[in-house]
Chain A
Amino acid sequence: MSFIAKPKIAHPGLPKNELGLTRRDYEGSMSTLCAGCGHDSITAAVIEACWQMSMRPEQLVKLSGIGCSSKTTAYFVSGGHGFNSVHGRMPSIATGAIAANKDLHYIGVSGDGDTLSIGFGQFAHAMRRNLNMLYIVENNGVYGLTKGQFSASADIGSKAKKGEENLQPPIDPVLAALTLGGTFVARSFSGDKEQLVPLIIAGLKHRGFALIDVLSPCVTFNDHEGSTKSYEFVRDHYDEVVHADFVPPAREITAQYAQGDTMPVTMHDGSLILLRKLDPSYDPRHRGQAFNYLRDKLAQNEFVTGLIYIDEKSPDFHEVSGTTATPVNQLPFAKLTPGSKGLEKILSRYR
C-alpha cells in the first residue's frame, strides 16, 4: 500500500541490539493508514519488541487476512516474509506455514471483522490446534475500509459515526479464547506501549497460540462521543490486572516488586516472564476465575487488560502431532520415499 518510499538513513548514534541492528532495521514500508490510527502504534510496538528480542528479521513470518489491520504486516520488519492472504483465512495459512517449518517465528495480525466475523471459525480452530504463533487482533469495533459498518466486537449501545446504535451483543475475542482453550490470552490498548511491548515479547516466547486483543481506536470512523472503542472511552475504562515483564535469559531480575504480587513464568527457551499482579486476588492460571472476572468487569464497562491467562506447559500443535525435530520442509528427500525396494514390499499386499 506504500506509495512513498521511506528514507533508509539511520542516525549513527542509534542504539543497537545483540545482532548489531537498530530499531530502523525492523521497520517496514510507510504506513498508509489514517494519521493517528491505533494500528500504527501497534506496528511500532511490534518493531520495538522484535528489536528488543534481537530477532533475526528473516526468522519472522508475518501473516494477515484482509482489512486495515491486515495491511500493517507490510509496515514492520521488511526483512521477514509477509503473506497478506484472504479475508478471515489467515489462520489456515498459518497452520500450513507452521506445519512446514516449526522453527520460525510467526505473527498473525488480524482485525475484529477478519477474526470475529468472516474468520471466526478459523480463529477458533487455530487456537484449538495451539499453533505456535502470536495472534494480534487490532480491535476497533468497526469496518474501516468499507467506511464505518459495525463489526462483531461493537458493544451494545455503542454509536456509529452517524448516530446509529448497535443493538447486537459483541463477541469478545478474550472471553472466546478463554472458553476455546487458548493458552496465552491477553488484552491491551494501542495507546499503552509500556504494557503492549512486553506482552508481544511474551506472546512470541510462548510456545503455543498467544492471543493479544489490542483495543485500537479507528480515528476516522469510531473515535466519536458514544463509541466504546474511542481513545477517550478506552483510556477511561481500561484496567490492567496482570502486567507482564519480560526478563531475557541470563539477565538478573532487577525490578523490585512487593512480595506475593509477582509471579515468575519460565518460558520454553528458559527466559522468564514476570507477572505483576495489580489485583493481588487475581490468578492468571485459573481459567474459570479469569472468565468470571472479565465478564463482571465488562458488565461495568471496564476492559480488563494485561496477561489475563497463561498456560505455558500445554503441548503445541507439533508436540501433539508428534512431528520430527527437523522442520518437515527441510527433510532430505531420501527420508521421504521408501524407494523401489520399499514399493515391492508395499505392492505385495495388492496381489
Chain B
Amino acid sequence: MQHAASPDSPDRINDFVIKLANVNGTGSASANTLLMKSMFRMGIPVMGKNYFPSNIQGLPTWYEIRISRDGYVARSGRIDFMVAMNAETYAKDVKEVSPGGYLLYDSTWPRPALLKRDDITIFGVPLARICNETFQGVRSRILLKNIVYAGVLGALLDIDLDVMRSLLGESYANKKSLLDSNVKALELGYNYAKEHFQCPLPLRVTRMDMTANHILIDGNTAAALGCMYAGATVGAWYPITPSTSLMDGFKSFCQKWRIDPETGKRNYVIVQCEDELAAIGTVIGAAWNGARAFTPTSGPGISLMNEFIGLAYYAEVPAVIFDIQRVGPSTGMPTRTQQCDLMIAAYASHGDTRHVLLFPNSPEECFYMAVHAFDLAERLQTPVFVMSDLDIGMNDWMCPDLKWDDAYAPDRGKVLTKEQLEQIDKFYRYFDKDGDAIPYRTLPGTHPKGAYFTRGSGHTQYGGYTEDSTEYQIVLDRLKRKFDTAKTLVPKAMLDSRGSTSLGLVSLGSCDGAVREALDLLRRRGVQIDYMRVRAFPFGQEVEDFLASRSQVFVVEQNRDAQLRSLLTLETAVEKAKLHSILHYSGLPMSSSVIVDGVLASIPEKRLAVGG
C-alpha cells in the first residue's frame, strides 16, 4: 500500500530497503551491521531487522535494512536491493525483489538463467574468487566475502568509504592483522564495483543530519542498562531465546561498572538457574530479602513461572519480569516475534490474580520502563512485567540518546527501618494503614519486631494464618484496591490526536512504528484517525475516555486472538462491538500495509470520499 515514488525516480535517495540473504554462522552479521551503521553515521535514519533461524550454523538467515529519510522505523514491505548470498534460498530471494529493484549475487558460480528477471537489475560479483585469490584460510575467506559485498554496496549506494573504514578501525582497534584484511576486503569490493558498474545507482544515500544525538541499540541491551541503572543487584535466569541477550548485556555492564575498585569483588549476583521456576523463585527470594531482582524470559518461561507469580502476588513480594515475547503456542517459532503473552501475563497463576504490565515501544522505552518497573514493583509490592518482544529486544533501533537524571533515587516502597520498628507497638504485615491498599513490609535481619511469616496460604491482614472467610476476603479485597492504586502509578497512554471525532486506533509496543507510518499514509488518503498507544496495564482513566469518545476503534496488535482487545473489553467499560481488530501474527515485525489495508477494508466508502 505504500505508493512511494517509482524506484528509478531521484526521490528514492535515502528511502529504500536492502535485504541481505545469508547463511547463518558465516559471519554476515558484522558486514550487515557495518553497512547499517555507516549510513547511520552519515546522518541517515536506518532500521535493521534480523530474520534468523533457531539454529547455530547452516540455515538461511536474512537481514533487512530500511533507509528512511522520514524516520519510519517499521518494515516497509518492499525490497529494493537484494544481496543474495545464499544459494539455497536464491530462487525465493530473486522473486521477492520489488519491480525496478536490484540484486547482487556471487558470480563465482553460475546461477540458473531461468531465475533471471527482466524487471530488476542483477549484479554479479565473483566474491568467493576475489577472496580466494587474496586471503589465506578457509574461515577468513568465508568471513571476508561478506566485507567484500559491503564494499560493493558502498560503491553502488554511495556510502562514504571513509566512514566504513573508520568503523572497521573501531571494531578491530586491537587486532591490526584483522583490520588490515577487513579494510583490504572492503576496498576490493568497492573498487570492483567502481570498475564494472555505473556507480552510484539512482537508489543511493546522501548525507543528512537526522541521527545526531541518536544511538543504534537493541531493546535487550537497553533493558539491561536500565536494570543496572535501577540498582538491580540480583539477576536470575534460564537461557531462552529471545531474552538471553538481556542477561548477557547485564553481565557485561556489571563486569565493567559493578566491580569494587579496591577488592575486585562483584557488587551484583547473577544466578543461571536450572529452569524458569527456579529463576522466578530466586527473584522472589532476593526481592523478599530486600534486593532489586529481575529475570528475563519469554513465553514458555512465563508458563512455567505461573505458580510462583501467584505466590508473589498474594504474599506481596516485588519481582521484575522481562517477557521478550516470541511466537507461540508451545515452542512455537522461537526466533520470530509476536505479542502473544498479554493475557497470560495479565492474569498469570491460578486464583484471582492481576498483574502490572508495561508495554515499551522501543529500546528507548525498554531503558526507562526497566527502571520504572523496579520502582513500581517495590512501591506496589507485586510482580511487574515488562512486555517487550523479539523485534524490540533483538533488533537494532535508532533511538534518541538515553538520558539519566543523577537526582534519581529508587522508590524502595514502604519498608520499615529498624528505628521505625523500635517505635511501633506491633507490626501487622498486611494492614492497610494509609488507605492506599499498600501495606508495610519488613526485611529479614532488621529487628525481631519486624519478623513475620510469609505464606501463600490464607492470611489475615495482621499476617497470621487463616481459614476464616471474612479474614481471607479482607486481604483479597484490599489486593483488588491495590490494583486501583496501580492505575494511578503506571505510565499513561500516549495520545496522538489527529483531529478525528469518530475514529480511533489503539495499539501497543512494537506496533507503534507501523501504526504511525500507516496513519500518515491514511491521512494522505483523507482518512484521519486518532491514535492511542497504551503503555501499561491496568488501564488508566485516559484509556476509558478515549474509548468512550470514539464511535469506532481499531485495535492493532500482533497475535491471532486479539488479546489486547480482550483486555480492553474485560477491563474497561467499552462496548465490545466498537472494537475492530487488525491482527498480524506471521512472526515477522508488522508493516504499515497491514494496518492501512485493515482500516480501508472496514471503513464505509463515504468516509473515503471526504478529502480523497
Contacts and interface: CB of A to CB of B under 8 A. Distances in A.
B289 A97 contact: yes
Contacts of B179: none
Contacts of B280: 92
Interface in B447-463: 447-448, 450-457
B443 interface: yes
B406 interface: yes
B257 A338 contact: yes
A187 to B, nearest CB: 25
A93 B281 CA distance: 5
A24 interface: no
A104 interface: yes
Nearest to B465: A1
A347 B363 CA distance: 13
A2 interface: yes
Interface in A17-64: 57-59, 61, 63
A125 B447 contact: no
B538 to A, nearest CB: 26
A329 B443 contact: yes
Interface in A232-251: none
A95 B257 contact: no
Nearest to A73: B453
Contacts of A85: 281, 284, 311, 456
A99 B409 CA distance: 23
B173 to A, nearest CB: 12
Interface string A119-137: 0011011000100000000
Contacts of B234: 96, 99-100, 328
Contacts of A325: 263, 265
B281 A96 contact: yes
B604 interface: no
B96 interface: no
A132 B214 CA distance: 46
Nearest to A87: B307
Contacts of A100: 233-234, 269, 285-287, 289-291, 293
Which range contains the number of A residues in contact with the other chain? Answer: 35 or more
Contact of A336 (B216, B258, B279, B451): B258
Nearest to B234: A99
B265 A96 contact: no
A101 B451 contact: no
B206 interface: no
Contacts of A322: 264-266
B277 interface: yes
Contact of B448 (A58, A63, A73): A58
B284 A96 contact: yes
A151 B4 CA distance: 70
Given A96-B282, A96-B289, A324-B263, A79 B448 contact: yes
A291 interface: no
A103 interface: yes
Contacts of A83: 285, 288, 453-455
A319 to B, nearest CB: 10
B453 A74 contact: yes
B383 to A, nearest CB: 14
A146 interface: no
Contact of B274 (A78, A99, A121, A342): A121
A346 interface: yes
Among all A-B residue pairs, the 6 with the closest Cβ atoms: A96-B285, A92-B281, A96-B286, A79-B448, A100-B291, A81-B444
Interface of B: 41, 214-217, 221, 225, 228-234, 236, 253, 257-258, 260, 263-271, 273-275, 277-291, 293, 307-308, 311, 401-406, 409-410, 442-448, 450-457, 464-465
26 contacts: A58-B445, A58-B447, A58-B451, A61-B444, A61-B445, A80-B451, A81-B444, A81-B453, A84-B457, A92-B280, A93-B282, A96-B285, A97-B286, A99-B285, A100-B233, A100-B291, A122-B274, A322-B266, A329-B290, A335-B267, A336-B232, A337-B228, A342-B257, A343-B403, A350-B221, A351-B216
